[in-house]
Chains A and B, each alone.
Chain A
Amino acid sequence: MILQALTLTLRLAVTVSFILLIVGVPLAYWLAYSRKRWKFFVEALVSLPIVLPPTVLGFYVLVAIGPLSPVGRWYQAIAGHPLAFTFEGLVVGSVLYSLPFAVQPMATSFASIDHKLLDASALLGASRWRTFRRIVLPLGLPGVLTGFVLSFAHTLGEFGVVLMIGGNIPGATRTISILIFDQVEALDYAAANCTALLLLALCFAILAALYGLRKRAAWDVWGWK
């Protein structure tokens, strides 16, 4: 049972953190360099999951992807089954929930890059895309990695959103944190303790690895070219 929940949790965390890597990097780039007046609006929106109770976020996502909403109907028409209470639905909710944890470190590290380097790149004939690829991304790599790892770790431990959108279906939506909840509900404290310890160790190992790697300059560690 633990193994099934653990596999599911890891599968969810990997999927979510990779999606956030793909979505988060361009979003962070835009947040770091855009001069649009309404940027603050997007910033606030992205940060919302940090302060919002997970149940509130989960509730709205559930409504948004439910069979009565356009998104939910559209998904059902394509996939043949509803989005709510499935693994895919869980992914949608988790991506939104972990978005700030991915985007904020990325945006911070992009914004801290000396703007003169970007000017120098343009003066040497580089397009914006080339500048992004060769200068912004390698120099912002520590932040990108931090965002990636944080979103992974954050998804591992999430509870409220999962419970709201996913329910408690073994093999589909029952993640480790839900399992612990179940075990405590069933007064099986020994099993709960075992599962909780596993999650604790996993989260700690990931964070320790992250901070350990960050001590060294990113381009030395990763040999980016």
Chain B
Amino acid sequence: MSGSATPTPAPNGDLSVRIRKSFPGESASLFALDVDFTAAAGFTILFGASGAGKTTLLDCIAGLQNPGAGRIAVEDSVLFSSASGFNLPPNRRSVGYLMQSLALFPHMTVSQNVHYGLDGLHESERQSRCGEILELLRISAMAERRPEEISGGERQRAALARTLVTNPRVLLLDEPLTALDAVTKSQILYDLRAWNNQHRIPILYVTHQREEVFALGENVIALDAGRIVASGSPHEVLQRPQSETVAQLAGFENIFECAFVADHPEQGTMTCRVAGSTLDLEAPLSRVDRSRPLRIGIRAGDILLASSAPQGLSARNVFSGVIASLQQRDVMVVAKVNCGAEFEVHLTPAAREALHLESGRTVWLVVKTYSCQVLQGI
């Protein structure tokens, strides 16, 4: 049994999940979780507010909770089936699960933690696989340290290495990067992508952060109160938000398809041109593939609007444009400004009065570099 941790994974096995789990003691119409989806190889983002059932869903797939009714399978290999009364225990599922708390074993070194899931393999094989994964995740230098002796980002890498080294058939990541700073986060995402390019397994990635959705998402599933309220590509899900949850997720009112123009490493910035325009945006230097199209997201509330050409500003992005429309929404004014590309800008009614704004008027938009979020799919 102990050798069952690392069977050769079936390549590209789709994960299919159908669950109707009810809270114990509640009426049959109230389900804690009622989902039905298939995740192919690659990243599938699970998005939802806390309490939406994301962690419960992952626990059910991993076998830590009983789903109640339904079926969970990887390709043809059934993990759970209420119809046949089958429930594979978690230690025989080959499901990699990175929990939010990481759960690194505190009494073992990083290396011992990573070795833990390779019981039953030859020592030489174990050594080489651990060496490889520690190398890939850049924590070889921490191998002999205990979890309490390394930084948060290193702990995250160690936990990820411990999970990946077992070659799981499915990978479940529960907000694995929430606590990290942007640089560390993007580095780990980069390494995770590199790993997945080799292994191509279904990865369910729980997050409530929009940046990660765009950075990783081939496919997004939005959960609300235990149900799937939207699914599709990040763009499909975010452009037409049909629920409160997705609307939150779509917090970037401005998302531009861009092409990379130039790096300015000494300033920590990069220039990108908005597709179909001559508009150049200066964004923070990001770890993205420069040869492929990328996206830049800007929140409407982060844009300043000026009625005359501003001077002496620290902001790098200043564009002149014409107001295409002005609309009052509750206590907020939504302005659409055409600068070669259309920007959505949010301002207060008082600001509209003070600046005498109206359709057709020329205005200037000011966007700080750090308000430009660089996003790229896999």
A116 to B159, CA, bound (A): 13
Q: Are B90 and A122 in contact (CB under 8 A)?
A: yes
Tell whether A125 pairs with B103 under 8 Å between CB atoms, given A119-B64, A119-B90, A130-B2.
Answer: no
Residues of A near B5 (CB, < 8 A) are 124-126
Most chain B CB within 10 A, of A116, A117, A125, A219, is at A125
Q: Are B2 and A224 in contact (CB under 8 A)?
A: no
Report whether over half of chain B's contact residues are helix, strand or loop; otherwise say mixed.
Answer: loop
Tell whether A139 pairs with B106 under 8 Å between CB atoms, given A122-B89, A123-B91, A126-B116.
Answer: yes
Please tell me if B44 contacts chain A, counting CB pairs below 8 Å. no
Of A119, A127, A138, A219, the contact of B103 (CB 8 Å cutoff): A119
Stretch at the interface among B28-36, B75-83, B92-100, B326-334: B92-100
Of A114, A123, A126, A139, the contact of B97 (CB 8 Å cutoff): A123
A135 to B116, CA, bound (A): 11
Q: Are A126 and B2 in contact (CB under 8 A)?
A: yes
Bin the interface of chain B by size: 20 to 34
Which chain A residue lies CB-closest to B99?
A116
Tell whether A224 pairs with B107 under 8 Å between CB atoms, given A122-B89, A122-B91, A126-B119.
Answer: yes
Q: How far is the CB of A42 from chain B (nearest CB, A)?
A: 25
Which residues B52-110 have CB closer than 8 A to chain A?
62-64, 89-97, 99, 101, 103-107
Please tell me if B321 contacts chain A, counting CB pairs below 8 Å. no
> What per-residue 1/0 map shows which CB atoms of A118-147 lie under 8 Å from chain B?
011111111100100011001100000000
Which chain A residue lies CB-closest to B162?
A124
Q: Are B91 and A127 in contact (CB under 8 A)?
A: yes
Please tell me if B156 contacts chain A, counting CB pairs below 8 Å. no
Which chain A residue lies CB-closest to B1?
A127
Q: Are A116 and B101 in contact (CB under 8 A)?
A: yes
Q: Are B119 and A125 in contact (CB under 8 A)?
A: yes
A161 to B62, CA, bound (A): 51
Residues of B near A124 (CB, < 8 A) are 5, 91, 116-117, 162-163, 166
> What per-residue 1/0 map shows which CB atoms of B1-34 lie under 8 Å from chain A?
1101110000000000000000000000000000
Of A114, A119, A125, A219, the contact of B117 (CB 8 Å cutoff): A125
8 interchain pairs (CB within 8 A)? A114-B103, A117-B106, A122-B63, A123-B96, A125-B2, A125-B6, A126-B91, A126-B116
Closest 9 CB pairs of A and B: A125-B5, A124-B117, A120-B103, A116-B103, A219-B107, A122-B90, A122-B91, A123-B97, A138-B107
